[in-house]
């Protein structure tokens, strides 16, 4: 539990050791693949399992590909666990269904994405494209970051208790961190993010950070362009906390916000306790900063992880 005054405190060594011990156990107790033909509906089969992962597919997924997807998923999962050090009272090992669909199916049903997580933290859908593109490792870390956040939120994960910009800021930051960790050379997506940062106005930043879903939905449907700018604002929100607010462990602290909201606190209350400043004050500061740097993108991105990508 963080102090009510929100002041930054050192994490107890005992907590760090226990969380590391937990992560080691997670890897050690991962069960061997159990290959089988268990039916999961008329069109899906369980192809393989690893630990709490159950990999299914409505398409033709070979055993070797199943093993590879499972291995990639567990690696990204463990990376996220290490970064976030979730409270041990949260059961992160609840069963997780990984539904693998063909590139064609994903393109038809969910155009423009490699993977997506369902609120509640029990289902992750991925395209077989993850088998071909190293960039997709970051996508897995991003979506698994959502799964872990949903599990920390518990019953509040489906109630809109945390704004989308905060959820996406966390997920995308985890994805970027994992790609950097793996030294993935493909930075096209990061460049597109940097360009989006540079174009956002102070007024648009305020709208995104104060209206959330109403910003990027039209007639009940998601507007892809506005949704991308919302996601970009979410990432910049995290970068602002790290760089301008002087909170280098801003991503780690996001986990504490999810945990507090999962215990029944409001997002605003959890944010204030965790960061020592109200979210409204941060929004006000970012809005002013975006307005002030509208014609100076280099200054806007200075010292962030995106400053050399414009």
State the fold for domain 8-158.
Zincin-like (3.30.2010)
Per-residue pLDDT at 11: 43
**Confidence at residue 3, expressed as pLDDT on a 0 to 100 scale:** 37
Domain positions in the chain are: 8-158, 160-310
CA distances from 85 to 43, 78, 129, 302 (A): 38, 10, 29, 29
Per-residue model confidence (pLDDT) at position 14? 38
pTM (two decimals): 0.84
pLDDT tens series, the chain, 310 aa: 333 333 333 343 333 344 444 343 333 333 333 333 333 444 577 899 999 999 999 988 999 999 999 999 999 999 999 999 999 999 999 999 999 999 998 988 888 888 999 888 999 999 999 999 999 999 999 999 999 999 999 999 988 899 999 999 999 999 999 999 999 999 999 999 999 999 999 999 999 999 978 788 777 788 889 999 999 999 999 999 999 999 999 999 999 999 999 999 999 999 999 999 999 999 999 999 999 999 999 999 999 999 999 8
At residue 24, the pLDDT reads: 39
Q: Can you give the pLDDT at residue 119?
A: 86
Distances (CA, A) of 53 to 97, 186, 193: 6, 28, 31
Question: Which pLDDT belongs to residue 43?
Answer: 53
């Amino acid at each position: 539990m963080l102090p009510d005054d929100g002041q930054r405190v050192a994490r107890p060594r005992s907590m760090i050791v226990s969380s590391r011990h937990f992560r080691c156990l997670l890897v050690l107790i991962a069960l061997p693949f159990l290959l089988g033909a268990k039916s999961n509906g008329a069109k899906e089969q369980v192809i393989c399992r690893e630990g709490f992962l159950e990999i299914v597919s409505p398409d033709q997924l070979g055993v070797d590909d199943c093993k590879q997807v499972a291995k990639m998923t567990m690696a990204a999962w463990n990376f996220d666990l290490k970064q976030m050090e979730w409270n041990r009272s949260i059961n992160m090992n609840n069963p997780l269904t990984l539904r693998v669909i063909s590139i064609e199916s994903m393109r038809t049903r969910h155009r423009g994405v490699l993977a997506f997580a369902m609120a509640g933290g029990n289902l992750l859908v991925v395209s077989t494209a993850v088998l071909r593109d190293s960039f997709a490792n970051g996508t897995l870390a991003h979506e698994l970051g959502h799964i872990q956040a949903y599990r920390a939120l518990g019953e509040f994960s489906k109630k809109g208790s945390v704004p989308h910009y905060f959820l996406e800021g966390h997920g995308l930051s985890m994805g970027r961190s994992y790609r950097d960790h793996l030294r993935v050379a493909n930075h096209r997506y990061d460049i597109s993010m940097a360009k989006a940062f540079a174009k956002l106005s102070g007024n648009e930043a305020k709208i995104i950070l104060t209206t959330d879903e109403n910003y990027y939905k039209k007639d009940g449907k998601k507007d892809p362009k506005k949704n991308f700018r919302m996601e970009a604002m979410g990432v910049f929100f995290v970068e602002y906390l790290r760089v301008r607010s002087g909170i280098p462990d801003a991503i780690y602290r996001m986990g504490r916000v999810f945990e507090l909201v999962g215990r029944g606190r409001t997002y605003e209350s959890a944010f204030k306790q965790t960061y020592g400043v109200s979210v409204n004050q941060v929004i006000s500061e970012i809005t002013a900063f975006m307005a002030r740097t509208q014609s100076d993108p280099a200054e806007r991105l200075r010292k962030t992880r995106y400053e050399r990508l414009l």
